[in-house]
Amino acid sequence: MQPPSEPEKALDKLAGYLRNSRNILIITGAGISAESGLPTYRGIGGLYEDRLTAENLEIEEVLSGEMMRQNPRLTWTYIMEIEKACRGAKFNRAHRVIAEMEQRFERVWVLTQNIDGFHRDAGSRNVLDIHGDIHDLYCPDCEYRERVVDFSHLSLPPRCPACGAVIRPDVILFGEFLDQAKVARLRIEMHRGFDLVISIGTTSVFPYISGPVHEARIRGIPAIEINPGLTQVSAQVSLKLTATAGEALTAAWERLKKA
């Protein structure tokens, strides 16, 4: 019998960490949804990497809160382009495994940068979508809210059926502050504590995304990273798996269920 390979050993270790855990924080970025066919575009996910918009502007400028106020038609043009690129995609096995974890462990929370809503679609209940969900639309001038999964029928820019104001997706545009209620919830859950932190498919450039991994290291709590590349937290984790989310989570989950 051949000895297990290094990837197999890493998966065994991941399953072991899961087996010994009760409270888990899972942090996800664009990499987990790339396996569903979504583009990992710069900023909101490579759709605009290394190129400007047709207006010769940086995508961060077009998709900013200020531009939404000044020229909502322009901002909505690119919001609709993003939605069209993602249309028809669905959650994948990695999202589903994370949702299934809620049934096995005492407490599982997902902190995601993604705005696709896949974690909730897959069945996860404890989700902090820190950047919002592109399919949740609201009017800033009245109480109108609606979930829209296909933008193809919307006008440009779409207007509130109640008051006529321009509506917008409930996402954090560039230059805007995070939702303070979600930040507060993250602080509460961090204070309650986790005994395992797993970072999946994110470069961890934002401090509120890398912070839980750094805190885990300080407290002596295991932190795992699942990412094909090196990131801001790769040197901080207890275990690094150079794999896709679907490969690593599915294999570790099967090991755990057989134990």
**Catalytic annotation, residues:** 131
> DSSP readout, the chain?
-PPPPHHHHHHHHHHHHHHT-SEEEEEE-HHHHHTTT----TTT--TTTT---TTS--HHHHTBHHHHHH-HHHHHHHHHHHHHHHTT----HHHHHHHHHHHHSSEEEEEE---S-HHHHHT--SEEETTEEEEEEE-SSSS-EEE-S-GGG--SS-B-TTT-PBPEEEE--BTPPPPHHHHHHHHHHHHH--SEEEEES----SHHHHHHHHHHHHHT--EEEE-SS--TTTTT-SEEE-S-HHHHHHHHHHHHHH-
Q: How far apart (Å, rounded) are the C-alpha atoms in residues 111 and 27? A: 5
**110-145 burial string, b = 16+ CB within 10 Å, else e?**
bbbbbbbbbbbebebeebbbbbbbbbbbebeeeeee
